[in-house]
Amino acid sequence: MDINMSTHSEKAGKLFKEGYNCSQAVFTAFCDETGMEREIALKLSSSFGAGMGRLREVCGALTGIFMVAGIKFGYAGAEDEESKAKHYELVQEIAERFKRRNNSIICRELLGLGEGNSVPAPDKRTAQYYEYRPCERLVREAAEIMDCILEEKAVFSIDE
């Protein structure tokens, strides 16, 4: 597997700047890896932006890479406890990498907001919005983390 690490990061940043939410931007940037059609990827990830539908909980960029990890490395057997534990270990590792870079995985903390939900209507994407929001940087970093995971898994995979 030859992963161009800058490609997914750039694609995620571009999608975010086009107006897609953070989860959509990251998840859709990996359609080449997941094999998912763009429209389905956009719809599937649409609920997770702004920390789960503007609830400001887990960062949507992180949720986007959790979904990529699920498609690439997830389990399907309900009673496969070993695979489930292994996958959850990967999810926790991804979250820890994101947290080490950003000191949190919670949207409201990353944005410096107080407790409570936001109004459902998204903020207008103006030049000022992009100046004070770290979201474009966060989607790029999330994509970089996922690329590192993909590369690490490819190196250690017995299938490759």
Over the stretch 57-68, which tens digit does the pLDDT of each residue have? Answer: 999 999 999 999
Query: What's the average model confidence in pLDDT over 22-44?
Result: 97
pLDDT at position 117: 63
> pLDDT tier at 121 (50, 70, 90 boundaries)?
confident
Give me the numbers of helices (H) and strands (E) for the chain, helices first please.
10, 0
Cα 55 to chain centroid, rounded: 16
Number of domains in the chain: 1
Instruction: Give me the half-sphere count of Cα atoms (radius 13 Å) on the Cβ side of residue 28.
Output: 27
Q: Which two tokens stand for residue 77?
A: 């057997």
> pLDDT tier at 1 (50, 70, 90 boundaries)?
very low
Is 75:155 a contact under the CB 8 Å cutoff?
no
Query: What's the average model confidence in pLDDT over 143-157?
Result: 89
pTM (2 decimals)? 0.90
Q: What are phi and psi of 63, to 5 degrees?
A: -60, -40
The yes-or-no verdict on residue 138 having pLDDT over 90 is: yes
pLDDT at position 158: 47
Partners of residue 106 on adjacent β-strands: 58
Determine the structural domain holding residue 18 and report its residue range.
5-156
pLDDT at position 93: 98
Tracing tokens 């690329």 back to the chain, one arrives at: 147
